[in-house]
Structure 1
Amino acid sequence: MALPARLLAATCLMSAAALTLSGCAGEEAAADGAGKEPAIGSIEKLSSTEGLEFPIAAYAVTPDQQYQAKKAQDRLIEQCMKRFGFEYALPAPTPPSGDDSTSRVFGLADAEDAAQFGYASPRRATDPAPPKRQSTASLSRTGQTVLNGVDPVAEAAAKAKGQAAAPTDEPMSQAEAEKAPGSGIIVNGKEVPVGGCGRESALKLYAPNSEAIDILFAFNLGGEAESRALEDSRVREATTKWSQCMADSGFTTSSPDSVQSDLGLEQGELSSPEAITIAKADVACKTQVNYIGIRYAVQSAYEKSLVEEHAETLALFKEQTQDRLRLAAQLNG
């Protein structure tokens, strides 16, 4: 199934490290209890997601912490590049907006937003444009080799032949990288780290040793809880009732998660009169069947179960997150 919409923003914020470090906590989380539906008790009637708190949120990396970590990783990249004689200054990443990240955790929920913006983001018109990242094209061929750990020309040739240009057995921690054979690429008398400065920066910040827990561990647990909740019979029943309500309003769509694609709303049409009409019906139907209340109760129950199951790992993850943030604070000055 497609990645739930709630998780897409987080993947963007973590992308630099996720591209260089592998591992998936979701696989571990899925191993136990996948076929059990947890008890949820009484379900509160909810017509808004504002202020909802989820069990895994206590362990999640906040948008501001992600921002500080991204700045620190950029500093590490710049320091590494400087070792090889390259001035490679990266602009600061975009600061977090400060908006409630749960505002659309279960899709559109606010009636006023629906009536004014449809499915478009209320922030879109006011958000500053993100700063342009320095393109690797501004680096020489040698500079790109240092940054990525592979010669760009050789990489293009290998891709054309369907081959891998870089080693596939890269070290998974900085401690391992310091002991493992190097890349064999020498620039200005120094050996380029395996994976280049990009990978070295991620290892130093997110995986200094083999005991480091995947930076996406809590994130993946949240994704697993969401996936289980979507398959839960109580959520499926609420979704069916919502779909029927939408049909009664003249709109054929199977799920709040697919309403835009089901009804053919293109990106530039999310605040059109048609989109606003659909959005208003969407929110009204969610309220009618208590879709938000049911989704919240069920997902919270799955998250609570996963938090209990992985309590020891989550506690260590939280400690390591604080270690990363202390290092980030030092690097960011």
Structure 2
Amino acid sequence: MPRSLTPAEDARLLYAEDLIVHACMARSGLRFVAEPLAASSRPAAEQRYGTADVAAARAHGYGYSETPAGQRQAEAMSRDPNEAYQRTLSADAQRVYETALYGTPDRRSQVELPDGQGLVISTEGCVAEARERLYGDDLRGYLVSQHVSANLEGHIAQDVRETAAYRSALDGWRACMMNRGFSVATPQEARQRGETAAREGGRAAEIRVAVADAECGQGHRLLATAVALEQDRLVDAGPELVALVREFRICRLASLPKARELIRAESRGSGAGG
């Protein structure tokens, strides 16, 4: 099975999509803002189940102290500038804007997913143009594999958290964290405690929480247990779903060079303009 994208790679692809949408909308005289997206430095599995990277925890904590306070506040209060702009438009102008983005509603089609759900797909508009440029001409296939992958990963993560093996590892992690002076129920709560510590006590306080989290996670194999269980459940999902996940990951990985070149071209153009 090909690997999943890192959060930074995922953010890169989304930014590249937005750059194409920006250019497409501009051809119709419409505004669309393309901005680089913030990405967590931690892989998705670590965000779900906690970390075992003790060296990174000792060096960087969770990374909160290394992010300027103003940036953290801006990210917490940020909203999609394109949605905000669209709300300023009249009803007629909003319809024109949405049609430019997604095509006309009556040209959208519905496909049936392997689980019997229906997925509405638009193959027109600037968003479709961006996805076709990055991911290829089979836009329907890409969107189906994207939807299946996201849903399956969510179901698997929920299932993993309910297994006896993961609960046992989590119990050991909690007891270890309690012995270190941190009463937290989940790795997500530990990260929140680390964020609070960074804000109120500074970098050293944040690092204490992160190191305890990582050492307890490593000692009780919390992340390793969860990742192994995820792999087992992915195989158990059946060949049709596994094939769709594989297609989605291959497509995303193959699109990274295109995204990098688009972003480099935008950076060169911005530099020349500045």
TM superposition shift of 1:310 = 0.6
**d(CA) in 2 for partners of 1:90 and 1:212?**
24
User: Can you give the 5+ residue segments of structure 1 that lack an aligned partner in the other structure?
Assistant: 1-54, 156-164, 181-198
**d(CA) in 2 for partners of 1:279 and 1:330?**
36
Question: TM-score normalised to the size of structure 1?
Answer: 0.50
Is 2:126 the counterpart of 1:201?
Answer: yes
**Conserved 8 A contact 1:119-1:270:** no
Q: Secondary structure at the match of 2:62?
A: coil
Question: TM-score normalised to the size of structure 2?
Answer: 0.59
**Conserved 8 A contact 2:8-2:39:** yes
Q: 1:78 to 1:134 in 2, by over 3 A?
A: farther
TM superposition shift of 1:201 = 1.6
Residue in structure 1 matching 2:63, options 114, 120, 134: 120
Residue in structure 2 matching 1:101, options 43, 52, 56: 43
2:22 counterpart residue number: 77
Report the count of equivalent residues.
Answer: 234
Which amino acid letter does the alignment assign opposite residue 297 of structure 1?
A: A
Is 2:158 the counterpart of 1:213?
Answer: no
Which amino acid letter does the alignment assign opposite residue 158 of structure 2?
A: S
Over the matched positions of the two proteins, sequence identity in percent amounts to 15
Q: Would you tell me which structure has more helix in proportion to its own residues?
A: 2
Q: Which has the larger radius of gyration?
A: 1
Which amino acid letter does the alignment assign opposite residue 54 of structure 2?
A: A
Q: 1:210 to 1:250 in 2, by over 3 A?
A: closer
**d(CA) in 1 for partners of 2:235 and 2:172?**
26
**d(CA) in 2 for partners of 1:83 and 1:171?**
8
TM superposition shift of 1:231 = 1.5
**d(CA) in 1 for partners of 2:80 and 2:228?**
44
User: Can you give the 5+ residue segments of structure 2 that lack an aligned partner in the other structure?
Assistant: 109-123, 266-274
**Between 288-297 and 207-216, the greater mean CA deviation after superposition:** 207-216
Q: Secondary structure at the match of 2:51?
A: coil
1:259 counterpart residue number: 190
1:286 counterpart residue number: 217
Correspondence 1:1-333 to 2 at 5 A = 55=1, 57-58=2-3, 63-64=8-9, 67-68=12-13, 70-84=15-29, 88=31, 90=33, 93=36, 101=43, 104-105=46-47, 106-120=49-63, 124=67, 148=86, 152-154=89-91, 177=105, 179=107, 200-206=125-131, 213-214=143-144, 215-261=146-192, 265=196, 268-269=199-200, 271-306=202-237, 308-314=239-245, 317=248
CA-based RMSD of the aligned residues comes to 5.0
Q: 1:249 to 1:225 in 2, by over 3 A?
A: same
**d(CA) in 1 for partners of 2:173 and 2:79?**
42
**d(CA) in 2 for partners of 1:116 and 1:321?**
31
Which amino acid letter does the alignment assign opposite residue 218 of structure 1?
A: S
